[in-house]
Amino acid sequence: MKKLELITCRKVYSVVILGLLLLAYCFACYHTGLIDTRLVIPQPLARRKNSTDGPPVEDAIRTHVFQIGDTARSLYSDTLGKLPTNPQYHRRWDVNCSAIFAGSERVITSVSKQLLQEQQEQSLMPSDSKVVTWTNDCTLYKKQRGYPTTPNSDEEAGFPLAYILVVHTGAAQVERLLRAIYQPQNVYCLHPDSKSPREFHQAIAGLANCFDNVFIASKLEDVVYAGVTLLLTNINCMKDLTGRSASGHPWRYVMNLCGQDFPLRTNLEIVGQLKAHNGQNEIQSSVPDKRKSRRTEFKFILRNKSIVRTKSRNGPAPHQLKLYSGSAYYAVTRDFVRYILSDPVAIDFLDWTRNTHMPEETYWATLQRAPGVPGGNYRADPQIRPFSVRYVLWYTRASPHKCRGKYIRRVCVFTIGDIHYVQQQPHLFANKFYYDYDPVSLQCLEEALEFRVRHSEESDK
């Protein structure tokens, strides 16, 4: 009897040990992204309710989290593994993007160590001279990179967009951005900084020459941070977008981007959001605080390639305009652009801002509040913060997320440790990304966008 009890106890003990080992194995698999990984896929932006006295009110933005089992994860891998990325253009990293989107620390740490090690050995971004060779054969290049040749949907075909891309470095990252936002019904004005290296200009020219709906601004500015030249880059492109360069492209809204931006939404999702604006502009506008008021109170001039403040004070803004402050980035209607280029109020105000600090953050926000401006919002509220086009994580003590990358001019440069948070934001685009600092973030965002495009196409069939 005692022998039988001993055998029974040993069996129970063995079962317990096996059970604990199995649990430990499952726990390890979960944290390495092998099983139970979640892919967070932001759904199309919620439509806004109409409003008669201001911008539409945003509905709740819901983010669906898909539970990834063997079948679902296989679908994710197969679908996104077929992205049109040829190794001769952009390197494809063997990483588990679904685990990165889920915030798996073990995967993020492992990939981060790999990136850091390779950064010390070589540049992670193709050189400008390399990008120049990509477009030697435009037909082959566009085919291998998978640029779409027809609109993805009737809704997108009926609502073409325009883009202004102000760029100055990293032709490979500019190309990657263009590929992510490209649609044949849209039109794109590229403004390379006039002082950028020769090979960068050659690479950007090569990109533009491969497409009928992509062109370089007819007038280029030597962009100086905080000066009027950044504002003029947008004005120059707006002139081209309403002129011969964009003839035959009846775009509805124009958005401006820089080379370090990247989309968080597909073209269809962007169209849906802009259609919900009902002809209103997407411009932030607030009563400036004391610090921002100093940008217009004194005159600023260019000295030694920097913008410096003088002791001279500015006079009042023309046409009794009340000054406001906001973002340099926007989504505005075609009628608003016509107003900017032709109305005396807008023209005089542009001239007045030439001697101010960061005039682009005053110009758009102020005109958005001026009476009679197409798509504007003339109301007395001290602040208009609509659904923003562009997400930026600024350095503040009250920041909702701790930057895992690095700060440049108090702006977070995102890395794979941030994108699980960034991709949950309801904005259309995010800034800032550096290709040579973290190419995996761009790859994972590309894969998520491609997944949603294909998922949308399949649901329409």
Phi, psi dihedral angles at 59 (to 5 degrees): -75, 170
| Residue bearing the bigger pLDDT, 96 or 73 | 96
pLDDT of residue 410: 92
Q: Does the pLDDT value for residue 399 go beyond 70?
A: yes
Contact 98, 75 (CB under 8 A): no
pLDDT band for 78, please (50, 70, 90 cuts): very low
Q: Does the pLDDT value for residue 363 go beyond 70?
A: yes
> Beta strands 161-167 and 63-67: pairing type?
unpaired
| Per-residue model confidence as pLDDT tens digits over 231-268 | 999 999 999 999 999 999 999 999 999 999 999 999 99
pLDDT of residue 23: 55
pLDDT of residue 22: 55
Q: Does the pLDDT value for residue 33 go beyond 60?
A: no
pLDDT of residue 99: 96
Helix axes 344-353, 360-369, angle to 10 degrees: 150
Rg (CA), the chain: 25
Backbone conformation region of residue 330, classed left if phi is above 0, alpha if psi is from -120 to 50, else beta = beta
Q: Does the pLDDT value for residue 445 go beyond 90?
A: yes
How confident is the model over 166-182, as a mean pLDDT? 98
User: What is the average pLDDT value for the chain, to the nearest integer?
Assistant: 85
Instruction: Return the residue matching tokens 């685009």.
Output: 429
Q: Does the pLDDT value for residue 116 go beyond 70?
A: yes
pLDDT of residue 37: 35
Question: In angstroms, rounded to a whole number, what is the distance separating the alpha carbons of residues 417 and 397?
Answer: 19
Beta bridge partners of 307: 302
pLDDT of residue 44: 38
pTM for this prediction:
0.83
| Residue bearing the bigger pLDDT, 441 or 379 | 441
Q: Any idea where the domains of the chain sit in the sequence?
A: 2-31, 63-282+386-460, 285-369
Question: In angstroms, rounded to a whole number, what is the distance separating the alpha carbons of residues 133 and 140?
Answer: 12
How confident is the model over 197-201, as a mean pLDDT? 98
Among the options 361, 446, 447, 450, which is catalytic? 361
pLDDT of residue 71: 28
pLDDT of residue 300: 96
Which of 108-112, 204-208, 387-391 is predicted least confidently? 387-391
pLDDT of residue 20: 57
pLDDT of residue 388: 80
Q: Does the pLDDT value for residue 369 go beyond 80?
A: yes
Contact 428, 389 (CB under 8 A): yes
Task: Assess whether 361 carries a catalytic annotation.
Answer: yes
Contact 358, 306 (CB under 8 A): no
Which of 76-80, 176-180, 235-239, 273-277 is predicted least confidently? 76-80
| Per-residue model confidence as pLDDT tens digits over 142-165 | 999 999 999 999 999 999 999 999
Question: In angstroms, rounded to a whole number, what is the distance separating the alpha carbons of residues 175 and 230?
Answer: 21
| Per-residue model confidence as pLDDT tens digits over 299-337 | 999 999 899 999 999 999 999 999 999 999 999 999 999
Contact 254, 339 (CB under 8 A): no
Beta bridge partners of 331: 255, 282
Question: In angstroms, rounded to a whole number, what is the distance separating the alpha carbons of residues 460 and 456?
Answer: 6
